[in-house]
A and B are shown apart, each in its own frame.
Chain A
Amino acid sequence: MSDQLNPEVNQTFNQGMQPKNYLVESILVTIFCCLPLGIVGIVFASQVSTKYVAGDYAGAEDSSKQAKKFMMWGLIAGVVVLVSYLAIMGTTIFALAAQQ
């Protein structure tokens, strides 16, 4: 926690490794969640390595967090839409079938 408050320490700490870019997860969200949020995730994923190569470690870290955020929102939205839709429609179809 104290590392995050001190940007200098945070920067040296992060210089060793490129932050995770969540590319694979974003691709999966793009394919399966039918919402363009996965594409926003891919945009931020591409910023991670661009900024990292340019030496902007704090920026790369920030893009990594953004990529994760949009990927997660896409995933959550996709799952919520699919599950609630299946539940509502499933119940309706079942109820209609039971009536006949």
Chain B
Amino acid sequence: MQKNYLKLFLAFLALSLLTYLYFKYDPINNLLFPKCPLHATTGIYCPGCGSQRATHALLHFDIIGVFKSNILFLPALLLVGYHYVLKTMNHFIGTTYSSILDRPNAPLITLAIVVFYWIARNLPYEVFDFLRP
């Protein structure tokens, strides 16, 4: 039990430090932050590309900046947040909500969205520019 609390505390500490760094410094053009290894080597934008910039923008409540960096970042974060809120409520106050992420077809739908997003943001047409970070 004690060990779990230590882990939780360390995770909280690390998250706070990262939050501070991502708040203080803009990841774009800053040497402090790693570039995506996939994009650096192949030039391909993966579905997670732009998340560091999106994190920075979100910490500054720049919602438009968040969507410009990665249009799925905020929806995905809200979805995961909703999932964990339900789980926490079920655990502590005994409610029995089931999250849409627990549905049998949730993984397939997620996969379809992610794959289409991945393809679309790499298509060399101007119409898809809004999907690129």
A27 / chain B contacts, CB cutoff of 8 Å: 76, 79-80, 110
Give the bracket for the number of chain B residues in contact with chain A.
35 or more
Contact check, B77 vs A31: say whether CB atoms are below 8 A apart. Answer: yes
In the complex, B93 has a CB within 8 A of chain A: no
Contact check, A45 vs B107: say whether CB atoms are below 8 A apart. Answer: yes
1/0 contact string of A38-53 vs chain B (CB within 8 Å)? 1100110110111011
Contact check, A36 vs B34: say whether CB atoms are below 8 A apart. Answer: no
* A–B complex contacts, Cβ < 8 Å, 23 sampled: A23-B110, A24-B83, A24-B101, A27-B79, A27-B80, A28-B80, A30-B47, A31-B70, A31-B76, A31-B77, A42-B110, A42-B111, A45-B111, A46-B110, A48-B107, A52-B104, A81-B37, A82-B34, A85-B33, A85-B34, A86-B21, A89-B32, A89-B33
